Amino acid sequence: MTVRLLAAGDHFVLNRLLLDAVRAEAGELDFRELTLPWPVEPFGPVAEVKEASGTEDQLIEALDGAEICVTQMAPLTERVLAASPSLRLFCVSRGGPVNANLEAAAKAGVKVTFAPGRNATATAEHTLGMILAAVRRIPQTHADLAGGIWRGDYYRFEAVGPELEGATVGLIGYGAIGTRVARMLEGFGANVVVHDPYVPELSIPLDDLLSRSSIVSLHARATPETAGMIGAAQLARMPAGSVLVNCARGSLVDYAAVCDALDSGHLFGAAFDVFDEEPIPYGSRLLRTRNLVMTPHLAGASRQTAEKAAAIVAGDVGRYLRGEPLEHAAN
């Protein structure tokens, strides 16, 4: 009997990418498709899971008779699992399967996989762009010129930022993204220091990193231990005129404290791709604080990220069908 596979793609990780990758890995199956609305519509919580797209009813209908599902954002909930007795493999093409109830899936005999490292290069490149944008005031000067204003006063000594060559840049987190950022920065001639308890041979204490670095970039995972790890006390340890960059997770930073440090002039600038509340609510202080560069959680957005994501999950589909151990099992 032919195995039925549902590709529940969206407008980033497209169904055609998922299906082409699965065909290359496993050949022809009984393919079904469902297109989810992200990112045209923001993701959000669905029942008990976070950061999902589409509804339980949509997925239940599309999963009828499917043994495998490959997706980025579809919600794997207790209700979906109860209504999908044929499902045995649920592949999430993201760095973490936050849209899947892993405990309920394990109880139902459904294996869940994910796609670690899919966006490492894209996020590292975006981080470097954010650093340069913050230290050279690129967005602000562009906005002035677009508004017909020539701001020569940006050339004042106290208004200009530091060069990367010779600067000490502290990286908090030294995994797939942090190591790539380090290589890029070293190409600029920066001196890179690292804090990461998982890399003790390279890691220095966090307080030492903060006090030594003119630029600090966050690349840590969101865990209970890292929540709010950069607050008022940590910002105070950073040298006057330094820059903070976060393209990792919004929970790592106390954003009110950053706004205070920017308003006081203690920080020269900051650049964020992630926030504690997304989308940023209307009236947020972040939207009116000077010297802050922001992008809407798209550091990992590249065509190669979508292609790599599809290839990674397709690899585990092939292993599953061949009876081999899964490479990226989450449960």
The residues annotated as belonging to the active site are 249, 278, 297
Instruction: Dig out the tokens for 136 from the structure.
Output: 């050279």
Residue with tokens 């997304």: 278
Between CA 99 and CA 49 the distance in angstroms is 5
Instruction: Dig out the tokens for 315 from the structure.
Output: 């690899």
Residue with tokens 């294996």: 111
114: alpha, beta or left? (left if phi > 0; alpha if psi -120 to 50): beta
Sheet holding 292-294, edge to edge: 191-195, 168-172, 215-218, 242-246, 267-272, 292-294
Instruction: Dig out the tokens for 194 from the structure.
Output: 């690292």
Between CA 277 and CA 248 the distance in angstroms is 14
Between CA 270 and CA 243 the distance in angstroms is 5
245: alpha, beta or left? (left if phi > 0; alpha if psi -120 to 50): beta
**8 and 54 in contact (C-beta within 8 Å)?**
yes
Q: How far is CA 138 from the centre of its chain?
A: 23
Between CA 262 and CA 241 the distance in angstroms is 9
